Amino acid sequence: MSLSLLIILPLITAIVLLLCNGLQQVRVVALSGATVQLILAFAFLIIYWQKRAAGDQTPMLFEQDYIWFTPLNIHYHIGADGISIAMILLTAFVTIAGILVSWSMEKLSKEFFFLLVFLSMGAYGFFISLDLFTLFFFLEVAVIPKFLLIGIWGSGRKEYSAMKLALMLMGGSALVFVGLAGIYFNTTTPAGAHTFDLMQIAQMHIPLEVQKLFFPFAFIGFGIFTALFPFHTWVPDGHSSAPTAASMFLAGISMKLGGYGCLRVATFLMPDAAHAYSWIIILLATIAIIYGAFATMMQTDLKYINAYSSISHCGFVLLGIGMLTRTAIAGAVMQMVSHGLMTALFFAAIGMLYDRTHTRQVAQLGGLLKVMPFIAAVFVIAGLCSLGLPGLSGFVAEVTVFMGSWQNADAAYRLATILACASIVVTAVYILRAMGKVIMGPLQVDGGHAATLTLSDAGWNEKVAAAILIIGIIAIGIAPFWLNELIGGATTTIIEKLSFK
Amino acid sequence: MKQELIITVIIFILLLLKIGKDLTNEQAINLANGLLLINCIAGLFFNHSGTLFSGMFQTNALIVVEKNILSFGTLIISLQSASWLKNHSHVMEFYILLLSTLLGMFFMISSGNLLMFYLGLELSSIPLAAMANFDLTKKQSSEAAMKFIISSAFASGLLLFGISMVYGSTGTLTFSEMATRITGGPLQVFAFVLLLAGFAFKISVVPFHLWTADVYEGAPVAVTSYLSVISKGSVLFVFISVLYTAFKPMAGTWYNMLFLLSVLTIIIGNLFAIRQNNIKRFLAFSSIAQIGFILVGITGSSQMAVASVVYFVLIYVFSNLAAFGVVSLVSAVTGREQVSDYKGFYKTNPVLSWVLTIALFSLAGVPPTAGFFGKFFLLMSGAGKGNYILITIAALNMIISFYYYLRIVKAIFMDANDQPIERLIIPVYPKLALYICVAGIVVTGLAGYVFDYIHSLSFGF
């Protein structure tokens, strides 16, 4: 099977969407597209396993390589290893859940679903790119839909948030561009040409001073996407203003683009600089983890709570990458998948609550378990996953990151690990406090106007959406070995490159 | 020479028809568009190289492509201006002036000698001044024409002064001979600075940009788009060949000049574009910033640089003309040209909104539009020199430019408006032009073949 299907299919879905009329047609087309995407993602997973089981040891499977722009040696080169497959699965899960959650999007439905599908295309393309140009291309493809999604369908200070998010992410890609240009002009293939090919560059040695110059560009550039402190300020505004599905896409997929880029481009291609700068990465990641956790404690709006906790959780991804040990990097990838599913579920639950109660203020909600048990249960599962309850994916990912971090014997790094571990206590405080207030206790909505609202439980679409995400979370939580095996080969490649001097 | 002959023939046909026969506006527009289309198609069949008049006039495959880009852009502008010209009393004259400037540009691009270049430049800029004054009853329009002619004359003066000094110090005006005799002595540097200033006026590089916004605002939209795309594109083409062939021995000197000018142009263009409220002025300043990015590409001084500049101009034709096409439609029907008038535009005119949005995204350099590829290649060719400070400044300025393009998109899609622009009925010709532009924006980037082709024709440094 051709990996290009993952780009072609959303593209076809998007084009068909433009020809549709009315919400009914639009959502059916979007859902069928997303379903086929999910099936495709699983098909790739199974084929991947079969090939690996048959003893195929090439680092990248499903490779396709066509020349795109000859003068610059730019190729359309795609392929997938375990990490890519994990990310593809995550994207497929979040896409279908996002589309289901926005089932009754009345306002400009055609454009809304078009942009969602377009965004998912950018994410797929990014995760399967093996050419830095294609990677950069898809990274930017995924920015603009977010601006429109937040600005048109958002709430609150939506224009401000949309602009802030778009500009900060554009800033990130501008830095990435400089990093890529630096890599491009400072590597030469045996044939004497420059190349954007990820795997070819990985085999070349970039001089240390060049790495030291361009690593910060690439890492900070991608880091902005994944809420690297102090460039995290778009996260709370962007997430809280976005419509539910866009929040899910933002936190579930878009922030992972950054983590993947930090790992696959910055760290993998410039390992010496990664060693040299790892203390800065860890410092920033630890600050993000602790700052994010404490900032979350002060929030009163459910979406802000999840947005700030995302900063903290994405800090674990960067911490894992910065520790440069095999287990830590595997943990970082697991955390990306886990956080993607968990935060999408959380935003879905918040969106469902908000649709019914018209408020997201913790203080104005209470006792919702009595009137909407399903949504409350989803909320609890997402919350528990966020605080790292064993049996759910958050626990697995965080423990892997911590164990991997501890393997790095440097005393200061271990201190950072301990501090990061301690943040879980804070997480428990804010999650349990918010959950207790919102779903337990006497029924309270918006200071007592409950009578005017119809507090129904989740509809079928919301139930399916939540179920899909919960299946993912539990599958990782109780059987983490499959994910670990899936990404094992890829992390080995990265670690070999990192330890090879 | 055949391309020039075709245009000359068309000019004479129009002139004779104007004298001999009374055509209605409708007929005149149809006829002119038909002739321009023939000119475009005919251009595709030329592919020859050689020189004429002892090196005065030269042509090669790249020059043919450049001319085709310009005639194609002229056709699009002509299609777009149909609804404006329909009620105008001097349609024929407009087309005659338009084609005369195009002829001048062709001669300019093909010039192998500074005198020929000057001749072409004057032939292209004097009719343009008359065109800028084509809204005969509007005071602003004549003001624009006056400003344009004065600043043009000033730029020409500088150019001539520079040319005379080049002649004085080298004894020749032919590009190929100049290349062998230029040593980079003080007089030659002085001459070059004057020439550069003349060029900079024409393509509105900061600090020679002051005429741009006023002229763009006052002139009719068709002329504004012609000025910003075709006129600038042609001067850019000849600018590269002068820099890369005649002044090749001074590469070290002009590299630093271009470095400074490009940084200034990008930053000033961007900062002023943020504050504009008139959409034509806004596009004027954004086009200044675009020129800055083109200068970054030119500093690359390689085959890649030539290819990426020509490629970018092609993309710029599509993107800018799509934006101006929408602006001219709105302005022709409602007369509204403020950015705030576009608030709520999407509710009344979804198709035009998407066209304008795609055009703005392409200007901003957002994938998958062609503008992304154009900017990427320009910056890459600049980065080939290893000057990463310049590239970082340029890349960070992309964010500012992104802001002001998104400001328009925000007005179109997100802002509420009590009196949005009413639903416009788009006539056939402008609609066709817009579709061509959008198709061009999508295809020129994604189809790698276009860039490969231009690159294969480009000359090395």
* B178-200 residue pLDDT tens: 888 888 888 889 999 999 999 99
- CA–CA min distance A133, chain B (Å): 10
| Pairwise CA distance, residues B223 & B218, whole Å | 10
- CA–CA min distance B161, chain A (Å): 39
Mean pLDDT, residues B36-40 taken together: 88
CB contact under 8 A, A163 and B403: yes
Which has the minimum average pLDDT: A123-127, A212-216, B136-140? Answer: B136-140
For residue A66, which of A56, A55, A77, A80 has the smallest C-alpha distance? A77
Chain A CB contacts of B373 under 8 Å are 69
The answer, yes or no, to whether residue A284 has pLDDT greater than 90, is: yes
The interface pTM score, or ipTM, of the predicted complex is 0.91
User: How close are the terminal C-alpha atoms of chain B, in Å?
Assistant: 25
Q: Does B304 touch chain A (CB under 8 A)?
A: yes
CB within 8 A of B23, min separation 6: which ones?
B17, B31, B92
Chain A CB contacts of B448 under 8 Å are 67-70, 74
Q: What is the DSSP code (8-state) at residue A159?
A: H
Mean pLDDT, residues A21-33 taken together: 88
The answer, yes or no, to whether residue A432 has pLDDT greater than 60, is: yes
Q: What is the DSSP string of B368-430?
A: TSHHHHHHHHHHHHHHTTT-HHHHHHHHHHHHHHHHHHHHHHHHHHT---SSPPPPPPPPHHH
| Residue of B360, B376, B400, B412 to mutate, testing the A interface (most A Cβ within 10 Å of its Cβ) | B376
Quote the pLDDT of residue A221.
93
Please tell me whether residue B208 adopts helix, strand or coil conformation: coil
Q: What is the dihedral of CA A99, A101, A104, A110, to 10 degrees?
A: -20
User: What percentage of chain A reaches a pLDDT higher than 90?
Assistant: 36
| Residue with the two structure tokens 């997938």 | A80
The answer, yes or no, to whether residue B160 has pLDDT greater than 60, is: yes
Mean pLDDT, residues B124-153 taken together: 88
**Hey, which residues 350-379 in chain B have their CB within 8 Å of chain A?**
361, 366-368, 372-373, 376-377, 379
* B410-446 residue pLDDT tens: 989 888 888 888 888 888 888 999 999 999 999 998 8
| Pairwise CA distance, residues B239 & B259, whole Å | 15
- Element spanning A74, H or E: strand A74-80
The answer, yes or no, to whether residue A448 has pLDDT greater than 60, is: no
Work out the number of other CB atoms within 10 angstroms of the CB of residue A485. 12
- Element spanning B297, H or E: helix B279-299
Spell out a b/e string for B234-264, using b for 16 or more CB atoms within 10 Å of the CB, else e. Answer: bbbbbbbbbbbebbbebeeebbebbbebbbb
pLDDT band at B52 (very low <50, low <70, confident <90, very high): confident
pLDDT band at B358 (very low <50, low <70, confident <90, very high): very high
* Domain total in chain B: 1
Q: Is A447 left (phi over 0), alpha (psi -120 to 50) or beta?
A: left
Quote the pLDDT of residue B308.
92
Task: Determine the residue type at A152.
Answer: I
| Pairwise CA distance, residues A122 & A144, whole Å | 10
For residue A433, which of A333, A363, A329 has the smallest C-alpha distance? A363
For residue A176, which of A268, A261, A272, A251 has the smallest C-alpha distance? A261
Q: What is the DSSP code (8-state) at residue A253?
A: I
In contact, A10 and A120? CB cutoff 8 Å: yes
Quote the pLDDT of residue A373.
87
Please tell me whether residue A126 adopts helix, strand or coil conformation: helix
CB contact under 8 A, A74 and B448: yes
User: What percentage of chain B reaches a pLDDT higher than 90?
Assistant: 37
CB contact under 8 A, B366 and A143: yes
Q: CA neighbours within 13 Å on the CB side: how many for B414?
A: 23
- B407: nearest CA partner in chain A: A163
The first and second tokens of residue B204, run together, are 């509105």
- Element spanning B173, H or E: none
What value does the mean pLDDT of chain B take? 88
CB within 8 A of A191, min separation 6: which ones?
none
Q: What is the DSSP code (8-state) at residue A192?
A: S
| Pairwise CA distance, residues B163 & B176, whole Å | 15
- Element spanning B137, H or E: none
Q: Does B406 touch chain A (CB under 8 A)?
A: yes
The answer, yes or no, to whether residue B320 has pLDDT greater than 80, is: yes
| Residue of A15, A124, A177, A234 to mutate, testing the B interface (most B Cβ within 10 Å of its Cβ) | A177
Work out the number of other CB atoms within 10 angstroms of the CB of residue B443. 13
The first and second tokens of residue B184, run together, are 């980079």
For residue A44, which of A117, A119, A100, A128 has the smallest C-alpha distance? A128
For residue B377, which of B459, B452, B461 has the smallest C-alpha distance? B452
CB within 8 A of A294, min separation 6: which ones?
A426
- DSSP H helical ranges for A298-325: 302-323
Range of B80's domain?
A: 2-457
The answer, yes or no, to whether residue A21 has pLDDT greater than 90, is: no
Q: What is the dihedral of CA A386, A391, A397, A401, to 10 degrees?
A: 110
What are B57's strand-pairing partners? B52, B111
| Pairwise CA distance, residues A321 & A328, whole Å | 7
| Pairwise CA distance, residues A110 & A19, whole Å | 9
Angle made by CA atoms B420, B425, B428, in degrees to the nearest 5: 145
- A76: nearest CA partner in chain B: B448
| Pairwise CA distance, residues B326 & B336, whole Å | 12
| Pairwise CA distance, residues B10 & B31, whole Å | 10
Please tell me whether residue A73 adopts helix, strand or coil conformation: coil
Quote the pLDDT of residue B137.
83
CB contact under 8 A, B451 and A178: no
The answer, yes or no, to whether residue A122 has pLDDT greater than 80, is: yes
Task: Residue count of chain B, please give it.
Answer: 461
- CA–CA min distance A54, chain B (Å): 37
* B58-114 residue pLDDT tens: 888 888 899 999 999 999 999 988 888 888 888 888 999 999 999 999 999 999 888
- CA–CA min distance A115, chain B (Å): 13
The answer, yes or no, to whether residue A451 has pLDDT greater than 60, is: no
* B197-256 residue pLDDT tens: 999 988 889 888 888 888 888 888 889 999 989 999 999 999 998 888 888 888 888 898
What are A480's strand-pairing partners? none
Which pTM does this prediction carry? 0.93
In contact, B8 and B54? CB cutoff 8 Å: no
pLDDT band at A449 (very low <50, low <70, confident <90, very high): low
pLDDT band at B338 (very low <50, low <70, confident <90, very high): confident
Quote the pLDDT of residue A137.
93
| Residue with the two structure tokens 């002068």 | B242
Please tell me whether residue A441 adopts helix, strand or coil conformation: coil
Distances (CA, A) of A158 to A152, A328, B344, B413: 8, 37, 16, 12
Quote the pLDDT of residue A335.
92
Q: What is the DSSP string of A355-405?
A: HHHS--BGGGEE-HHHH-HHHHHHHHHHHHHHHT-TTSHHHHHHHHHHHHH
| Pairwise CA distance, residues A491 & B224, whole Å | 56
